[in-house]
């Protein structure tokens, strides 16, 4: 073992360091000297300087494991019928230092000896107690602490619900920190948490369902599907998880089952379902992918711990934003999620077009998709001027009516020349949802309804999945007994 004076004089050059971040730092800031490992005269750090860095890394990222069994482990060890064998958790300190820095165990032992000397304690040594960086100590990674991020989120929720709902600068600041760099974050699968949707992508359609409780509603929906199945105009838009009242967004799902489950249809109702084609490139935030993000880096990077804490918080964000909310609490509990949607749609740069998140009504079956107002415009159907549309929900067979859905479009002026018909087909279909009544819609069209996909689902029954909990009941006499309980 080298003595203390020799330790102070010895050094390692940047080429003999395995960790890339530390290697770059040493090359940039190290002093010229002869490396005790390779013998070359290069930029390097002394073992004392390396010990300082390793000590800070251990304080931030690692903790020493117990060197003796816990009480329950001692009980198992004392049980003659138990085959339990106790093994200390973690990694031996010298091996861990060597692995982190990327050096030999001989060099790691020098660093360990310096640190052991710093943390040695006469009384502990006399009692045989292990101290930090003892040569027989073991260490394991600390649990990432995201309490600061959780605290900021709770403060944001409180502010939106109780203090300032509009022009909330603190909410913008918190959300700006949370979603900063979101386009660069990678999930464990290696894919970005930002999903490309639209032409030439795997995600080019989205399903939407609408509950109809009368035949008249169904007839309107299948007659004018672009406007009746698509999102409502702003004046009719009610508040939802990702939109305030009066802001029209597109709520959809990846598949039919999820879309139907999300609208919660009562038994006996009819649900009209249709797929919409995404006709231009869109960027969607996949909240579910945040639960498996991977933050790569070096423990020697001072900012790495902060990135780990943020990643730990983001992994819980999907549950916060997608958790079920009781109907009587929606107007209050949806405020944070509505704020997030508004921020991502406008204030966040670059802005996103929508959000994907797991369905609370149909777990493990598909994702919900919300397209923000700016990306929720459906292409209007173009039909000849003067066309009439008739819809039917029943057909007469053998003097009995059977449920059957059909739409007949009668096109006028079929005797016109081919050129005249082509001119008439570009005229807009005047309806209650005309451009004039909307006050002029300047949004770019994002969706086109696929007429062949329209179908009607008649709800015959509703299935409920529940987890049963028994109720315990206790009886006590007198206040004192109850308080003791």
Say if 437 falls within a structural domain: no
**What is the arithmetic mean of pLDDT over 399-411?**
86
Provide the pLDDT confidence category of residue 485 given band limits of 50, 70 and 90.
very low
Answer yes or no: are the C-beta atoms of 453 and 208 closer than 8 Å: no
Count Cα neighbours of 439 within 13 Å in the Cβ-side half-sphere: 3
Say if 199 falls within a structural domain: yes
**Lowest-pLDDT range, 89-93, 142-146, 394-398, 435-439?**
435-439
Is 90 exceeded by the pLDDT of residue 478? no
Say if 188 falls within a structural domain: yes
Is 50 exceeded by the pLDDT of residue 25? yes
**Lowest-pLDDT range, 286-290, 360-364, 366-370?**
360-364
Residues 106, 171, single domain; the answer is no
Contacts of 139 (CB under 8 A, 6+ apart): 58, 62, 63, 64, 65, 90, 91, 93, 96
Residues 197, 263, single domain; the answer is yes
Contacts of 440 (CB under 8 A, 6+ apart): none
Is 90 exceeded by the pLDDT of residue 462? no
Residues 137, 152, single domain; the answer is no
Final residue belonging to a domain, choices 79, 113, 141: 141
Full domain range(s) for residue 187: 148-375
Is 80 exceeded by the pLDDT of residue 423? no
Is 50 exceeded by the pLDDT of residue 289? yes
Final residue belonging to a domain, choices 91, 106, 141: 141
Separation of alpha carbons 24 and 13, rounded Å: 11
Q: What is the pLDDT of residue 291?
A: 84
Q: What is the pLDDT of residue 429?
A: 36
Residue 210 pairs in a beta bridge with 272
Residues 132, 254, single domain; the answer is no
Residues 191, 124, single domain; the answer is no
Say if 101 falls within a structural domain: yes
User: What does pTM read for this prediction?
Assistant: 0.77
Final residue belonging to a domain, choices 108, 141, 174: 141
Is 70 exceeded by the pLDDT of residue 139? yes
Residues 301, 351, single domain; the answer is yes
Mean pLDDT of the chain: 86
Separation of alpha carbons 228 and 217, rounded Å: 9
How far from chain centre, in Å, is Cα 165? 24
**What is the arithmetic mean of pLDDT over 180-187?**
85
Provide the pLDDT confidence category of residue 159 given band limits of 50, 70 and 90.
confident
Q: What is the pLDDT of residue 437?
A: 44
Q: H or E stretch including 11?
A: strand 11-13
Q: Where are the alpha helices (DSSP H) in 347-471?
A: 418-424, 435-438
Residues 289, 310, single domain; the answer is yes
Q: How many domains does the chain have?
A: 2
Say if 22 falls within a structural domain: yes
Contacts of 4 (CB under 8 A, 6+ apart): 117
Answer yes or no: are the C-beta atoms of 171 and 160 closer than 8 Å: yes
| More reliable by pLDDT, 307 or 411 | 307
Say if 107 falls within a structural domain: yes
Residues 271, 123, single domain; the answer is no
Q: What is the pLDDT of residue 259?
A: 94
* Rounded percentage of the chain residues whose pLDDT exceeds 70: 91
- Token pair of 111, please? 């660093």
Residues 133, 193, single domain; the answer is no
Separation of alpha carbons 47 and 51, rounded Å: 6
**Lowest-pLDDT range, 130-134, 167-171, 342-346, 431-435?**
431-435
Q: What is the pLDDT of residue 60?
A: 94
Say if 260 falls within a structural domain: yes
Contacts of 128 (CB under 8 A, 6+ apart): none
What is each CA distance from 307 to 50, 57, 86, 294, in whole angstroms? Answer: 23, 15, 35, 10
Say if 414 falls within a structural domain: no
Beta pairing, strands 293-294 & 62-64: unpaired
Residues 280, 341, single domain; the answer is yes
Residues 188, 324, single domain; the answer is yes
Is 50 exceeded by the pLDDT of residue 26? yes
Residues 326, 200, single domain; the answer is yes
């Amino acid at each position: 073992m080298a003595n203390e004076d020799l330790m102070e004089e010895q050094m390692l050059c940047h080429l003999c360091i395995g960790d890339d971040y530390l290697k770059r730092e040493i090359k940039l800031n190290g002093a010229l000297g002869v490396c005790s490992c390779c013998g070359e005269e290069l930029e390097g750090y002394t073992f004392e300087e390396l010990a300082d860095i390793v000590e800070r890394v251990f304080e931030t990222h690692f903790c020493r494991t117990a060197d003796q069994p816990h009480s329950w482990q001692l009980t198992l060890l004392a049980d003659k019928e138990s085959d339990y064998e106790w093994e200390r958790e973690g990694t031996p300190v010298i091996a861990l230092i060597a692995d982190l820095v990327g050096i030999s165990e001989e060099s790691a032992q020098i660093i360990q000896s310096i640190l052991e000397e710093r943390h040695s304690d006469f009384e502990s040594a006399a009692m045989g107690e292990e101290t930090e960086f003892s040569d027989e100590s073991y260490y394991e990674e600390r649990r990432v602490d995201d309490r600061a991020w959780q605290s900021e989120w709770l403060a944001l929720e409180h502010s939106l619900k109780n203090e300032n709902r509009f022009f909330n600068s603190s909410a913008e600041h918190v959300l700006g920190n949370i979603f900063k760099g979101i386009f660069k974050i990678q999930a464990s699968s290696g894919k970005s948490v930002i999903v490309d949707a639209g032409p030439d992508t795997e995600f080019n359609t989205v399903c939407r369902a609408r509950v109809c409780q009368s035949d008249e509603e169904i007839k309107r929906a299948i007659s004018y599907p672009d406007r009746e199945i698509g999102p409502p105009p702003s004046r009719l838009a009610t508040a939802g998880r990702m939109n305030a009242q009066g802001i029209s967004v597109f709520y959809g799902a990846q598949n039919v089952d999820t879309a139907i489950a999300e609208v919660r249809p009562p038994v006996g109702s009819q649900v009209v379902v249709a797929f919409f084609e995404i006709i231009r490139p869109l960027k969607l935030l996949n909240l579910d992918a945040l639960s498996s993000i991977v933050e790569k880096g070096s423990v020697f990077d001072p900012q790495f711990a902060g990135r780990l804490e943020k990643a730990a918080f983001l992994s819980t964000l999907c549950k916060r934003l997608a958790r079920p909310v009781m109907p009587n609490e929606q107007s209050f509990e949806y405020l944070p999620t509505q704020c997030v949607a508004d921020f991502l749609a406008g204030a966040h740069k670059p802005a996103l077009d929508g959000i994907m998140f797991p369905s609370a009504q149909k777990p493990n079956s598909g994702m919900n998709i919300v397209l923000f107002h700016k990306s929720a415009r459906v292409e209007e159907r173009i039909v000849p001027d003067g066309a009439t549309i008739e819809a039917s929900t029943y057909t007469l067979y053998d003097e009995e009516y059977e449920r059957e859905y059909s739409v007949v479009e009668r096109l006028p002026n079929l005797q016109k020349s081919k050129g005249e018909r082509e001119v008439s087909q570009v005229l807009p279909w005047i309806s209650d949802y005309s451009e004039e009544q909307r006050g002029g819609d300047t949004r770019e069209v994002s969706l086109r309804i696929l007429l062949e996909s329209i179908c009607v689902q008649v709800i015959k029954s509703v299935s409920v999945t529940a987890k049963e909990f028994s109720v315990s009941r206790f009886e006590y006499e007198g206040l004192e007994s109850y308080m003791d309980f």
